[in-house]
Amino acid sequence: MTNALNATHDPKLKSWVNSANEAGCDFPIQNLPFGRFRPAGSKEGFRIGVAIGDQVLDLKAAGLVDTDDMNVLLAQSAAERQALRAALSEGLREGSAKQAEWSRALHAQSAVELTVPCRIGDYTDFYTSVHHATTVGKQFRPDNPLLPNYKWVPIGYHGRASSIGVSGQRFKRPQGQTKAPDAAVPSFGPSKRLDYELELGWFIAQGNAQGEPISMDEAEEHLFGVTLFNDWSARDIQGWEYQPLGPFLSKNFASTVSPWLVTTDALAPFRAAFQRPTDDPQPLPYLDSEKNRSKGAISIELEVLLQTARMREAGESPVQLSRTNSARAAYWTPAQLIAHHTVNGCNLQPGDLLGSGTLSGPEATEAGSLMELTSGGKKPIVLPNGEQRTYLEDGDTLIMRGWCERAGAVRIGLGEVSGTVLAAG
C-alpha cells in the first residue's frame, strides 16, 4: 500500500548526512525524493539522484540501480519502489555500514545541475479547485460561473509537454491574438495579462494497457509522486481563444516544474480524509472508494512569492503573495484523476504528468493566481517597496514552495519552483 506507514517514516530516524537532520530541512531521511542531475558545467548525461539534506546521492554510483533512465524506475511495481526506498533509508541512516561507500557517491546540491525529474511523455492539466473554478468563472461567465458538470467530472485538457522546463526557467513573454471588449477586431502582440498558476504535478508510475481502465482501488499503485508545478497563463490570449475547445496558445508557451519528485510513500504520514459537502453531488461509483474517502487527500502546505527586478537589484527578499493547503483547495484527489483519465480506455505511461490545476483555497488570501488576487486586474497588489502588480511584468521572478508537516511526523519539503519572465522577443 502506497499510503501505509513503515520504518522509513520513523520520526526518530537520523542520517549520517548531517544536513538532513537540521530543523526545517526539506530533505530529511524521511523524504528521499528522486531527481536527475549532473555536475554543474559538464556535458555529461543526467543521472538519477536522491536528495538527502543539501546533498544528492548518485544511485548508480551507490550500486542501487543499473540505469540512468528515471522512467525505468517509474515503470517498476509499487513493491519494487518500496524496496528501493527501504534500501535508501537503511543505507543513509546513522550507523549504517554503507556510510563509507555511499559518501563517495554524494554530490553537493550547490555543485550540480538539475533537470526535469523524468522524461515527460504526455501532460494533462486538470481543474481540481472548486474555489478557483468559481472565482475565475465569475470573471469569464458572471451569470454562470460554475458549469453544471464541474462537481460530477474531473475537468481536464491535454497540454503541451515540450515546453515544460525545470525550476529556474526563463522564458519570453508570449505573443498572440487578443480582443478588447470594445474592439471590433482582435489585435496581435505581447500578452498584457501574464499570470501564474499554483499547481501540483502528479507523475504516473506504471501505466495501463489501452482499453483497460485503472480502478480507484488500484489508482495509487500507478502514482509515483508529486512536484510543484507552475502553469503560466496568458489571460488575455486565453479569454479570446478558450471557447469552444479550451486553452491553447495561452498555456503552451511555458510551464515550470520543481526538480525533486516526492514519492507517494514519503507522503504517507500526511494523508487526510476526503469529504465532499453533504449537499454536493457525491462521486459516481467509478470515482469512489472507501480508501479514497478515508485517506485520499494529501495535506501539502503551499505558498507563492514574488521578487520583481527592482527588488532583486536592491537585494530585497521575495514577498509572499498567498498561502494555501492542497487538501483544503482540491475538490478531486489524485486517485480520482487517474481513474477518470483511464475510464474511457486511455492508456497512461510512466512519466506522464497530471497537473492539479490552480490550487486556491476558500479565503481570498489563498488564491493561486493573480487573476484571483487582483480580481481580474481591477485591484492591484501593492508590494512593500511601493511597486504595484495586477499581472506579471518583465523581470518578475515567481517562486512556489511546498512542504508537509503535522504533529508526530518529520516535516518534509517539495523544495521550490521558480521562473522568470523575459521581454517578448
Read off the CATH number of the domain in which 49 is found.
2.30.30.230
User: What residues make up the domain containing 77?
Assistant: 7-114
The residue-averaged pLDDT of 39-59 equals 98
What is the chain's alpha carbon radius of gyration, rounded to the nearest angstrom?
Answer: 21
Of 348, 349, 196, 219, nearest in space to 274 by CA: 219
Strand partners of residue 124: 158, 354
- Which amino acid is located at 33 in the chain? P
In a domain, 238, yes or no: yes
212 and 302, same domain (yes or no): yes
pLDDT digits (tens, 9 = 90+) for 238-281: 999 988 888 999 999 999 999 999 999 999 999 999 988 899 99
176 and 244, same domain (yes or no): yes
In a domain, 328, yes or no: yes
- Whole-number pLDDT of residue 425: 85
Choose one of 114, 133, 156: the last residue of a domain. 114
57 and 145, same domain (yes or no): no
pLDDT digits (tens, 9 = 90+) for 373-385: 999 999 999 999 9
With a cut of 70, say whether residue 185 has pLDDT above it.
Answer: yes
Supply 366's cell numbers: 489563498
C-alpha torsion 44→47→49→55, nearest 10? -10
- Whole-number pLDDT of residue 102: 98
106 and 132, same domain (yes or no): no
CB atoms inside a 10 Å sphere around CB 386? 7
Q: 138 falls in which pLDDT band (50, 70, 90)?
A: confident
In a domain, 296, yes or no: yes
With a cut of 80, say whether residue 3 has pLDDT above it.
Answer: no
Write the DSSP symbol of residue 182: T
With a cut of 60, say whether residue 105 has pLDDT above it.
Answer: yes
In a domain, 282, yes or no: yes
Choose the catalytic residue: 107, 132, 222, 340. Answer: 132
Tell me the three state secondary structure of residue 202.
strand
| Separation CA 373–CA 356 (nearest Å) | 19
Q: 141 or 40, which is more confident?
A: 40
The residue-averaged pLDDT of 64-86 equals 97
Choose one of 80, 114, 148: the last residue of a domain. 114
With a cut of 90, say whether residue 2 has pLDDT above it.
Answer: no
166 and 40, same domain (yes or no): no
Catalytic residue check, 132? yes
Average pLDDT of the chain is 96
In a domain, 2, yes or no: no
250 and 376, same domain (yes or no): yes
Of 377, 375, 141, nearest in space to 243 by CA: 141
Supply 381's cell numbers: 497588489
With a cut of 60, say whether residue 157 has pLDDT above it.
Answer: yes
**Looking at 140-154, 226-240, 287-301, which range is the least confident one?**
140-154
Which residues, in sequence order, are CB contacts of 262 under 8 Å at separation 6+?
31, 33, 225, 226, 227, 412, 414
The residue-averaged pLDDT of 361-368 equals 95
306 and 372, same domain (yes or no): yes
- Whole-number pLDDT of residue 191: 98
79 and 155, same domain (yes or no): no
Q: 175 falls in which pLDDT band (50, 70, 90)?
A: very high
CA distances from 255 to 27, 182, 200 (A): 24, 31, 12
- Whole-number pLDDT of residue 223: 98
With a cut of 90, say whether residue 344 has pLDDT above it.
Answer: yes
39 and 156, same domain (yes or no): no
Choose one of 114, 146, 164: the last residue of a domain. 114
Give the up-direction half-sphere exposure of residue 147: CA atoms within 13 A in the CB hemisphere: 10
The residue-averaged pLDDT of 148-165 equals 95
CB atoms inside a 10 Å sphere around CB 283? 22
172 and 309, same domain (yes or no): yes
> Which CATH number belongs to the domain containing residue 145 in this structure?
3.90.850.10
With a cut of 60, say whether residue 188 has pLDDT above it.
Answer: yes
94 and 139, same domain (yes or no): no
| Separation CA 67–CA 48 (nearest Å) | 8
In a domain, 1, yes or no: no
27 and 71, same domain (yes or no): yes
Tell me the three state secondary structure of residue 340.
helix
In a domain, 278, yes or no: yes
| Separation CA 101–CA 411 (nearest Å) | 28
Domain count across the chain: 2
